Structure 1
């Protein structure tokens, strides 16, 4: 198998200051702390300031001129959807729930039946915003203490939306910037009305706040909540002379509890209509991600292609935590890659919104573990890197390009200097790796192995080793031994068995018949030991093993003509035959220390396909690259 492209120590980037190379797992920020060349450059940059805009433009161009440099100016993505559960522990206060009682006091001052939600306004980032206040039943039983005098436990809802809209629902229907907060009290040993324990309080005494919103910077939500509470506090005292006050400072970000966690977050860019073909094509980036990384039987892994409204209307590819690191080294978050238009694309024709978004979002439901608020910077970096790599692999610039990106009300075509890991397209390497796994494993299958694979390919739903043993009529131990041999192609975890990826399943479907036929015809035993021993030194080198594996026979010729190489194994297609010869050339090159292209001048290969066609290339050297 080819080692290139899968080695953990392979250099994938280079510091543009000291030229030190870095692997996928290296942290650029950590390197910069000890990079003297970077420190000197930053000092010079600080001294120069912004005195010459032309020089700045030239420096930016130079920084982005070499794809090997991982430090340069990148397009700034726009935060989109966000969902989190933020928690505040106020047990240090004399009355940890004082702001909750303040919200209850505000509820009592307003006639919701006659006037509907309580509404006020506030200013955030220089713009006016509506703030609406409502409540609902929480389902929790009142606290069993003397100082908790409420008969019902309510949850308080706060809606923040643009001043020009009559309601939060109207703003949401038009995809405007907005935020929603649901404040629920928490105390130790909290119970529902049915007597069940509340499981998310982690023993804190304070608040659990559900947060949802769009288009705010993720780190801004605690500030928006606090400013909204400030606005609501000004509405107290109109009916009660001595209302119980609300204390917005109780919700300062520096008081967030460590169990605060994030369940959804998305970054996006908007790209010019007609320039995203490589993203949404049937052989494009999203489809390749789904095909190469999606498990064969995992129900949560999905690929969506909805072109009913317009081409590329809603396309997604979802990968779990385990696959994330295969796509971009050191990544750990389950995520969804998206290409999508507005719900009704005809209604926005001729506007900026007719252009599609490309986004990457965190997928909490299939993530292994929890992403806490303290992980926010890591989350942003990983989503940003994933989005930039998708653009790069789809021939879309990663720098701010006014000819390629389209600004909308929230996304701006601006860039910033930051350290991101940008890789050569990982997808061909993953495909090559899986091709190698198929050739390296499938050609050594015995009859039990082929029956097991055929069963996995034809039977839907979940399959266990026990079910496989019953299906193919062998002992369970035999199945376990087969699974061990087939481990590069088959995943066996927690009693479930599946083909490693949809791509492997697709390739095996056409390949398994030729393997079965080879086994039945005995071609795997058609070996010429004397000839193989004669070929470059012994039976235990990679070239000899390749000849053994594929039934290769070498016939010497007179003069300068290349020796004849007849391959006994019968592949299913010409593409498989070509891959087979390329793998043989690679093994021969390892043994002889010759350039791989010279293989074509040493041997005249011949392979007979399952359907009887003969592959006997006359210009095989062209497939092995140019000399050197």
Structure 2
């Protein structure tokens, strides 16, 4: 399976080296002698410029001029040392910045607060705070080694990283999209908005959705999901992530040929959204999850996941190369789907099923409270509001457990999307239209609930027999056709067109659809209009 290779963007970590204070003392000697040091080195055909300098640390020297481990520190004020390496190119944005900081038991700031972690048991050591851009995560430490050597600081000082104390705090990967095709990513019905609205509990959990179009459409759109919500999209992923579509400032003023005139689609690790810790040994897992998340978002937006000569619905390019993103195709073990449609369908169908089966008065009252009330709601509060016995409310909540989440004495609707569906149902009930929610079910479920005319039955049977799912919820149809297994894509679309029109459906709507399928060469996305002239012409 082939797909575009994503590029590394921001990276931040703390690397801890526990062989004493040697790297810190070495940097101090070099800066005391010359004030700063400069050098260069070459790596992978690129020339890097290196600077070693210092800054005031705000740290307090150890009592008596000696650390608890017996190391003499004969400085009145303590410095930290900046070892910065930047590729010498026109952009200057491929870089690694390393801040060398001393650590020992009981280290304090000048204000008297503890600096090293409370359970610091390494003794004398050095923390290297890393901020890198556009460098593969596993190459960052190599750059630090080469940069140290370039300014005559012994690289062996950075040879034995302590994995138990080293921590990755931020990591991001991206692709750059042509601005003419990136709209489906950030649109109102696009994957970013749908992730934000579908995958968060109506009452609990972290939820962040930003849609900033102040400078232009799609200027800055982000959605952040914690690990629980990420698993709704990717069952075998665990890392909390932010998904982001954004332009550089003043991108509108740049010519089309300039890379910064086009937006980035980025996925980044969000360390603050969970209680676990990732370390440099987890680089492979981090990169794999970020890449799979980006490719799934592209796929959900109806965009190709690999660069092609004619790869967009508009017939133009999808990816735009820049100084660090080359838009090359690589082999992948898999390209995951984004399971939003499954989640949305599951949530919608839960509501449809519950309403079709009928709700008792206590269940209706409970739903009304969950929709209208803010914050955590307990069964006892629902009972008080509607004059029900608490046990009756608890039994009612158990009967609609697919629609709600119950935790530690509180209850909430399962998701924002479920809440929207319930609001619609409540409105329909007030108007006496108890079956209004059936329109939200898909065609197969509708067929089970009511008698359809013969032509519609034929369309449904054709789709079922050929593994075709037509998603009609968005402005443009999405037709998922699965694995063609040697069948002709154009002939299958042509046959679908005949059944579609015979069932009284709008042919123009199908013509504008995007089809998703897989053949022997891998996953494909093509506009249905490409097959519109194949087969018998409609009369």
Shorter-chain TM-score: what band?
A: 0.7 to 0.9
Give me the whole-angstrom Cα distance separating, in 2, the residues matched to 1:439 and 1:618: 24
When normalised by structure 1's length, the TM-score is 0.64
Give me the whole-angstrom Cα distance separating, in 2, the residues matched to 1:412 and 1:400: 10
Alignment partner of 1:251 out of 145, 158, 163: 158
1:180 maps to 2:86: no
Residues 281 and 136 of structure 1: is their aligned pair in 2 closer, same or farther, counting only changes over 3 Å? same
- In the alignment, which residue of structure 2 is the partner of 1:156? 81
Give the conservation status (yes or no) of the 8 Å contact 1:401–1:413: no
Q: Deviations over 1:185-228 (max 9, x none)?
A: 22345455526473266422322222112101111111222222
Give me the whole-angstrom Cα distance separating, in 1, the residues matched to 2:162 and 2:407: 37
1:361 maps to 2:274: no
Residues 505 and 127 of structure 1: is their aligned pair in 2 closer, same or farther, counting only changes over 3 Å? same
Residues 370 and 301 of structure 1: is their aligned pair in 2 closer, same or farther, counting only changes over 3 Å? same
- In the alignment, which residue of structure 2 is the partner of 1:80? 9
Give the conservation status (yes or no) of the 8 Å contact 1:192–1:198: no
The residue correspondences of 1:381-460 to structure 2 (distance < 5 A) are 381-401=288-308, 403-423=317-337, 426-442=339-355, 443-460=357-374
When normalised by structure 2's length, the TM-score is 0.74
- In the alignment, which residue of structure 2 is the partner of 1:102? 26
Residues 468 and 215 of structure 1: is their aligned pair in 2 closer, same or farther, counting only changes over 3 Å? farther
Residues 413 and 582 of structure 1: is their aligned pair in 2 closer, same or farther, counting only changes over 3 Å? closer
Residues 175 and 505 of structure 1: is their aligned pair in 2 closer, same or farther, counting only changes over 3 Å? farther
1:583 maps to 2:445: yes
The offset of 1:411, in angstroms, is 0.5
Give me the whole-angstrom Cα distance separating, in 1, the residues matched to 2:232 and 2:202: 16
The offset of 1:328, in angstroms, is 1.9
Q: Which SS does the other structure have where 1:498 is aligned? A: strand
Q: Which SS does the other structure have where 1:407 is aligned? A: coil
Give the conservation status (yes or no) of the 8 Å contact 2:176–2:320: yes
- In the alignment, which residue of structure 2 is the partner of 1:171? none
Q: Which SS does the other structure have where 1:161 is aligned? A: strand
Residues 497 and 368 of structure 1: is their aligned pair in 2 closer, same or farther, counting only changes over 3 Å? farther
Q: Aligned-pair RMSD on alpha carbons?
A: 3.1
Q: Deviations over 1:495-548 (max 9, x none)?
A: 554322221111111112445787xxxxxxxxxxxxxxxxxxxxxxxxxxxxxx
Q: Which SS does the other structure have where 2:298 is aligned? A: helix
- In the alignment, which residue of structure 1 is the partner of 2:121? 203
Give me the whole-angstrom Cα distance separating, in 2, the residues matched to 1:623 and 1:140: 77
- In the alignment, which residue of structure 1 is the partner of 2:41? 123
Give the conservation status (yes or no) of the 8 Å contact 1:86–1:208: yes
Q: Which SS does the other structure have where 1:420 is aligned? A: coil
Residues 454 and 220 of structure 1: is their aligned pair in 2 closer, same or farther, counting only changes over 3 Å? same
Alignment partner of 1:295 out of 165, 186, 201: 201
The offset of 1:407, in angstroms, is 0.7
Give the conservation status (yes or no) of the 8 Å contact 2:15–2:161: no
Q: How many residues align?
A: 446
Give me the whole-angstrom Cα distance separating, in 2, the residues matched to 1:199 and 1:476: 47
Give me the whole-angstrom Cα distance separating, in 2, the residues matched to 1:358 and 1:407: 13
The offset of 1:421, in angstroms, is 3.9
Give me the whole-angstrom Cα distance separating, in 2, the residues matched to 1:471 and 1:189: 55
- In the alignment, which residue of structure 1 is the partner of 2:54? 134
- In structure 2, the gaps of 5 or more residues are 310-316, 466-539
Residues 618 and 257 of structure 1: is their aligned pair in 2 closer, same or farther, counting only changes over 3 Å? closer
The offset of 1:393, in angstroms, is 1.9
Give the conservation status (yes or no) of the 8 Å contact 1:258–1:374: no
- In structure 1, the gaps of 5 or more residues are 1-71, 91-95, 112-117, 166-173, 234-245, 519-568, 587-598, 606-616
Give me the whole-angstrom Cα distance separating, in 1, the residues matched to 2:419 and 2:259: 41
The residue correspondences of 1:275-290 to structure 2 (distance < 5 A) are 275-290=181-196
Give the conservation status (yes or no) of the 8 Å contact 1:157–1:180: yes
The offset of 1:312, in angstroms, is 0.9
- In the alignment, which residue of structure 1 is the partner of 2:176? 270
Give the conservation status (yes or no) of the 8 Å contact 1:294–1:318: no
1:370 maps to 2:277: yes
Give the conservation status (yes or no) of the 8 Å contact 2:48–2:85: no
Residues 283 and 154 of structure 1: is their aligned pair in 2 closer, same or farther, counting only changes over 3 Å? same
Give me the whole-angstrom Cα distance separating, in 2, the residues matched to 1:144 and 1:247: 25
Residues 477 and 131 of structure 1: is their aligned pair in 2 closer, same or farther, counting only changes over 3 Å? farther
Residues 406 and 476 of structure 1: is their aligned pair in 2 closer, same or farther, counting only changes over 3 Å? same
Moved more, 495-504 or 328-337: 495-504
Give me the whole-angstrom Cα distance separating, in 1, the residues matched to 2:69 and 2:253: 57
Residues 301 and 507 of structure 1: is their aligned pair in 2 closer, same or farther, counting only changes over 3 Å? same
